[in-house]
Structure 1
Amino acid sequence: MEQNEMIYIVPHNEEEYLLLEDNDILNKVDFVLVAAKVENGKDKKETNRKRYLRKVREKGFRIMRKEDNHNLYFGIQAREEIFDKYIQHLKLSERKYDNELKEISKATRIRIINFILWKIRYSTNNGNDNSLNAKNSLRKLLDDGTFKAVFPLHEKCCCRGHEVHGSKEQCWLCKDGNWQKERKLRFEWAEWRCLFKKQPIEEIREYFGERIALYFAWLGWYTTLLIPAAICGVIVVLYGFIYFESNQVSKEICNGTGIIMCPLCDKRCQYWRLNETCSYAKITQLFDHEGTVVFAMFMAIWATVFLELWKRARARSVCSWDLYHWDEDEEELALGLLYNPDIKVKEYHHSYKRTTIVMLLACILITVIIGLSLGIVICRVIAAVTFTKSGSEFLSDHARSIAVMVGAVLHFFTILIMTKINRKVAKKLCDLEGPRTALARENNFSVKMFTFQFFTMFSSIVYIAFFLGRINGHPNGYVRIAGQWRLEECHPSGCMTDLFIQMAVVMILKQILSSCVQYAVPSLKYQWKKYNKKNTDNDVMDATTKHWVKNYNLNHVDSFSLFNEFLEMAIQYGFTTIFVAAFPLAPLLAFLNNLFEIRLDARKMLVLQKRPIPRKAKDIGIWVRLLEVVGVLAVIGNGLVISITSDFIPRLVYKYGYGPCAFGNSSNVNCMMGYVNSSLSVFYVENFKQTDPKDDGLKSLGFQVTYCRYRDYRTVDEYKYTVQFWHIFAARLAFLILFENIVICIKYIVAWFVPDTPTSVRNHNLQKTFMRLQKELELSREIPSYSNTNAWKYQSTDV
């Protein structure tokens, strides 16, 4: 302790702060409340602050005061009697197997103190308890500016750049024998050199609590199991590379110089040759082949295996933490009784009226989100027409690809804007529901926010996957937006590349920018606060005050901070599983992102943010159910992508029904020869309406175009669907039903085959229950029953 270090403790019956030198008290400060200095004497805020602090002191807390040039800092230290009562209330979760009391961890201390601080109500009538008002709480003092912040303290060893006696190495030698834990978190978890090291989950739990520890355990488990998925995705793409040049479909497209295609837009749009989409066709064949079907089935099963194995890993962890039978309601009731033995139980309630209103408002927002997706579709159409008519040879030749990129970027910016709107609406809907507990509110918020974000992320992708090129009509009968712009068409090689580009742009931009923003913004805010304080702080501040001020300058953290991390990973999980058939590299990108995400989150929580309030938990909550829903959607989505978006089924029908090898005919030619020609319908240009485009005659070729081709299966005269179309439609439907039923059956078999709880954990809990019942039976034998006691009294009287 430095010579000038001053520690102030609020006396029980005095308003002034007296000097006290006590190192042990100072080192055990758990919370800090920050208030602005009052320059013009006493005011209402200062009076309310003193009243609140007096109530805090009456609850058994010590209060220490520090200050700098701008703020007052009140350190809160709890007496041990409070934690003894807590242990008595929750014997099951806070005792060892031998029934001895555990030592209260720092995370548990912080959680208990936080609960009490927010429950305390102060009087506004000269200390008269009869004037206690539910509104006079810490929340009111924070809202009106009486207190600027309230937060638990980080350990000194975990703060970046903190030095003890000028030596960074001595920072590891913290007091109370906890230096190993802090050193492991700061130097063996949050450093980039630990990228491939196992996370110290036990130390994370002791420092941040079970909820955050389970998040990092889940994230680590998810990242590990992404390795086989990423390898399989890379194999699928490599398989496409092997047949990159020899694929018959792409060969026919690249050699189709004599096939003239109908214009892609109206007014001044020219006819074009089929071979102009050669590059597009080759890229499509990289992931639109037979291996994609197997990979889609693998990923649907992988999603189930991942969740089942995670449940087993979670069971082992919570069993080792004595939280397997822990209950949230019991914890809440115990803390409430600890604060006030006469507290009333807040009961559950359900309002059908409120629920109906919430559902209607949620549907309205979802409708708006779908409307925005349709707006992006219109922008894509307009962009394609604009680039085609731009006069630039490069833009006109690549108008379609550029329009797809523009649509993907617009989709990304729509995601950024709608995320903020979705968050506000979800909070309002949760307030309207009025859930009973903070956990119930968080679960409700998570479901709503995930639903809104899911539609925001995937509505545009759903259009490209299942509607693009299928509702655009045909020449002389195109479907138009507002009677003006024609809907987009698929390339002759299919729409898989459009979906691939959309997925790649959104996923890459979202992951890279989200990771950068999530780390860069808190870092810049912290550096800005640090720079502003540099010239104004008092150089004579003692080490303790500097540590408190440093914690105050860290970025704010609340109960939704961890929610943001879960939401980001859940959306990523959706990209990795639902449309993975169109983007086999999604697991690889997710794996690489998560390697850095773990360290970014670790550094952010330890270095850039205030210490979060530790929370107990025995699982990751509602997110398991949401991930299970995503797993089911993965089966449906991949089945639809292969049967509708991909050309796998049309190629299969042609190969065995219309091609040179149909009906088992032996032939030396490639069985897919002629496929492209069979997939293109014929339209005679003389049938164009007056408002539709007329050809310039392709003057450079020296001949007049009499007919053009377009991607569809229609007759020449009446534009009705051909027999081949209905065969393909029946095959698509049959494959979809077969694929989804087989995969879902396999998913349920895997879920049944792999128990959620390991046998060792079940036996361990069985032994614990047996030992507890055995001890209770022994105690019951030692205490005479009521009837035996009365009988003994009667016998004594007779004698």
Structure 2
Amino acid sequence: MKSVSVSDSDGHAFTPLVAIELAEDIKEEAASWLMNKIKDKQQRGGADLLVDQLSQEGQSDQKGNPNIFIVGATWLRLLHGAEEVGLVKEFGDGSMRGFTYANKDSFKSFEGDGDGFLSIAECQYIIKHELDTLRAKDETQVPGYTQMKLYPGKSIIRRMQSKGILLQIFPLHVKENLKRLSLSWYGKVKLSHQPLDDIRQYFGESLALYFGFLEYFTFALVPMAFLGIPYYLFDWESYDKYVVFAVFNLVWSTVILEVWKRRSASLAYGWGTLSRKKAFEEPRPGFHGTLGLNPVTGREEPVFPYARRQLRMYLVSVPFVLLCLYLSLHVMMVYFDMEVLGSGAARRGAHGLDRPAALHPQHHLRGGHRENHRLESSHQNHLILKVLVFNFLNCFASLFYIAFVMQDIVLLRQSLATLLITSQILNQIMEAFLPYWLQKRRNKKVHTRNRRTMGDQELPLGEQVRLEADMNTYLGTFDDYLELFLLFGYVSLFSCVYPLAALLVVLNNVTEVYSDALKMCQVFKRPFSEPAADIGVWQLAFETMSVISVVTNCALIGMSPHTKAYFPESETQLILVVVAVEHVLLAFKFFLAFVIPDIPKPIQIKLARLEFQSLEALKKRKMLEAAAGIPSKS
């Protein structure tokens, strides 16, 4: 879709940024009520946006859903929205400050009426924020649906989505910008850094940080890959020499994660998300509670007691996760015993002990909203932590069983190699190439149908929006980070038995960069921009994996025949030495994490200077108020 302009029913011209698809059989009074809420002024509980129903005129197929609406806003509304959501922009003096409309001319890139000051992704994020904050006030039900109850503070969009009368909300692509990004990102195979700033401008900070981490992780694996090749080729059975490789692995895993914190802090500062305050953010649409005032911002929003949330977490969620974990372990142990009892089953390699059929409660955890977290980031972080437990168990339990119960190092090496090779091939086919091929077929049908009626002209707005509506929905970075997390585990946990793992992961990540870029630009709907200052709970997940790798590698080295030969008479002494070495390595690991600052010194200085200037400005204002006899506000 080009940056076209349309007009709403009142004659206001605007650029369509977001599409809303309602159910085909939605009652007219419900659709009209929702559109009026979106268009109504904020003082009356509306979003003050511009809406137009997508016309079916000129559409070659008249069977499409007529209830698709496009949403935009005036430029003034978007600038005020930027202040409401707390966007941070570069100030005239080079510092990063929260945007305020009153000081708009003091910001570096603000010229004239501010055209180009906000990216399209930021404009779409602002509109999504305004739609999400549409909450019921005096309404008790959705018009036309007596059973669809509302109460003060309830998210209107959330309610209509949960009942299936609002099908989806998605941001629209800008074809020219997308084509330009695609060309610089994956259009040519080249050994260079990704255009992270351009990715951030188009898809937002969360996705840009994922691709930044993918790139960083790939480059960080290169030393491990180069070191692993000679160990693999020339020291296959020399376990005593693997001690050096394992120690290097442990130092490497700590250093790269600490350095990544500094890298992500630098990126987030330049993008204006490092200093954003979560206390100022609006609650997520699924958050519910009694309508009250936010004690920090003074805004009216749902309020939910902190103690009740903690009780739900520790009395409901944690016991449920532990129960599912116990059942999963029990099922897998039965499976392993049956495999070993089966004649020769344990020697069939990774095909026999690859990934047993464990219980999968992830869909229950994904849909659980009982904890009722206020912010989307907190909700996602708690969800990721719970789901990660089961994915870790499912992917690594068989390898731990082979290593420490069967104590078969040859089978462990074979299983790890098989997992790395087969999973990478299947992931590339299922995650990127197959969806891309299906989407290309769908696009070809639409373009062919369009050429029959309109010749070689560009797709009209209605056809383009409907084409995007039928594209797959990107469900977030969870699966992408999970894949990297598992690969990091394969490299770090069992490095002393399969040093070639890092090389295989490098090869996978190189193709992953291009396949992920391809599917983001060609397969999925454009996702909404999500402000992010780091990779969130995934940082903790990777750091936890690196700690587990210390224990795993020390145990594997202690089990090797070469190590046991040094303690022929006392197994207890061997265990004590291994535990002592493990503790020394853990202490060294935590020492490295302590001495490497998370935020580079220049950025720390800039943040401290900005805080100092804010305090000085506050003092000056209070002095002026006192001189004018104005009572000071608490």
TM-score above 0.5, yes or no: yes
Q: In 1, Cα distance between the equivalents of 2:261 and 2:274? A: 12
Maintained 8 Å contact 2:85/2:281: yes
- Look at both structures and tell me which one has the larger radius of gyration over its CA atoms: 1
Matched, 1:348 2:306: yes
Q: In 1, Cα distance between the equivalents of 2:607 and 2:158? A: 41
Q: In 2, Cα distance between the equivalents of 1:156 and 1:756? A: 38
- Once the two structures are superposed, residues 319-360 of structure 1 have per-residue CA deviations (whole angstroms, 9 ceiling, x without a partner) of 2223332122312269999x9954344553434365233222
Shift in Å, 1:594: 0.9
Structure-2 residue corresponding to 1:554: 471
Q: Once the two structures are aligned, what percentage of the paired residues are identical?
A: 22
Q: Normalising to structure 2: TM-score of the pair?
A: 0.82
The 1:761–1:556 alpha-carbon spacing in structure 2 relative to 1, beyond 3 Å, is same
Matched, 1:60 2:48: yes
Q: In 1, Cα distance between the equivalents of 2:586 and 2:70? A: 56
Shift in Å, 1:650: 2.2
- Once the two structures are superposed, residues 296-327 of structure 1 have per-residue CA deviations (whole angstroms, 9 ceiling, x without a partner) of 11111111101111111112112222333212
Once the two structures are overlaid, the 10-residue window that deviates more, 747-756 or 99-108, is 99-108
Structure-1 residue corresponding to 2:608: 766
Matched, 1:32 2:16: no
Shift in Å, 1:61: 1.8
Maintained 8 Å contact 2:240/2:563: no
The 1:32–1:290 alpha-carbon spacing in structure 2 relative to 1, beyond 3 Å, is same
The 1:592–1:360 alpha-carbon spacing in structure 2 relative to 1, beyond 3 Å, is same
Q: In 1, Cα distance between the equivalents of 2:335 and 2:16? A: 54
Corresponding residue to 2:276 among 319, 323, 326: 326
Q: In 2, Cα distance between the equivalents of 1:427 and 1:643? A: 40
Q: In 2, Cα distance between the equivalents of 1:502 and 1:287? A: 17
Shift in Å, 1:555: 0.9
Maintained 8 Å contact 2:209/2:534: yes
Matched, 1:365 2:304: no
Corresponding residue to 1:191 among 162, 173, 187: 187
Q: Matched residue pairs, number?
A: 579
- Once the two structures are superposed, residues 248-267 of structure 1 have per-residue CA deviations (whole angstroms, 9 ceiling, x without a partner) of xxxxxxxxxxxxxxxxxxxx
Shift in Å, 1:366: 1.6
The 1:114–1:89 alpha-carbon spacing in structure 2 relative to 1, beyond 3 Å, is closer
Corresponding residue to 1:406 among 326, 345, 351: 351
Q: In 2, Cα distance between the equivalents of 1:563 and 1:548? A: 27
Once the two structures are overlaid, the 10-residue window that deviates more, 514-523 or 591-600, is 514-523
Once the two structures are overlaid, the 10-residue window that deviates more, 131-140 or 437-446, is 131-140
Maintained 8 Å contact 1:312/1:757: yes
Structural mapping, 1:488-567, within 5 Å = 495-527=408-440, 529-530=442-443, 533=446, 539-540=453-454, 543-558=460-475, 561-567=476-482
Shift in Å, 1:652: 3.4
The 1:323–1:351 alpha-carbon spacing in structure 2 relative to 1, beyond 3 Å, is closer
Matched, 1:71 2:65: yes
Shift in Å, 1:528: 5.1
Maintained 8 Å contact 1:110/1:152: yes
Structural mapping, 1:176-187, within 5 Å = 183=180, 185-187=181-183
Structure-1 residue corresponding to 2:257: 307
Structural mapping, 1:215-226, within 5 Å = 215-226=210-221
Corresponding residue to 2:9 among 1, 11, 14: 11
Matched, 1:580 2:468: no
Measured on the aligned residues, the alpha-carbon RMSD in Å equals 3.4
Structure-2 residue corresponding to 1:289: 239
The 1:624–1:36 alpha-carbon spacing in structure 2 relative to 1, beyond 3 Å, is closer
Q: In 2, Cα distance between the equivalents of 1:234 and 1:382? A: 36
Structural mapping, 1:449-488, within 5 Å = 449-468=387-406
The 1:138–1:454 alpha-carbon spacing in structure 2 relative to 1, beyond 3 Å, is same
The 1:539–1:132 alpha-carbon spacing in structure 2 relative to 1, beyond 3 Å, is farther
The 1:765–1:10 alpha-carbon spacing in structure 2 relative to 1, beyond 3 Å, is closer
The 1:352–1:148 alpha-carbon spacing in structure 2 relative to 1, beyond 3 Å, is closer
Q: Unpaired segments of 5 or more residues in structure 1?
A: 13-19, 38-42, 160-181, 241-285, 387-399, 470-494, 654-723, 791-799
The 1:347–1:79 alpha-carbon spacing in structure 2 relative to 1, beyond 3 Å, is farther
Matched AA of 1:455? L
The 1:586–1:372 alpha-carbon spacing in structure 2 relative to 1, beyond 3 Å, is farther
Shift in Å, 1:585: 1.2
Shift in Å, 1:590: 1.2
Maintained 8 Å contact 2:30/2:144: no
Matched, 1:757 2:595: no
Shift in Å, 1:755: 1.7
Q: In 1, Cα distance between the equivalents of 2:31 and 2:448? A: 29
Matched, 1:117 2:131: yes
Maintained 8 Å contact 2:335/2:356: no
Corresponding residue to 1:733 among 575, 591, 605: 575
- Once the two structures are superposed, residues 775-798 of structure 1 have per-residue CA deviations (whole angstroms, 9 ceiling, x without a partner) of 4445455444366999xxxxxxxx
Matched, 1:93 2:88: yes
The 1:777–1:92 alpha-carbon spacing in structure 2 relative to 1, beyond 3 Å, is farther
Q: In 1, Cα distance between the equivalents of 2:268 and 2:629? A: 42
Shift in Å, 1:85: 2.7
Shift in Å, 1:562: 1.0
Q: What is the SS of the residue equivalent to 1:467?
A: helix
The 1:50–1:92 alpha-carbon spacing in structure 2 relative to 1, beyond 3 Å, is closer
The 1:511–1:376 alpha-carbon spacing in structure 2 relative to 1, beyond 3 Å, is farther
Q: In 2, Cα distance between the equivalents of 1:328 and 1:320? A: 18
Q: What is the SS of the residue equivalent to 1:620?
A: coil
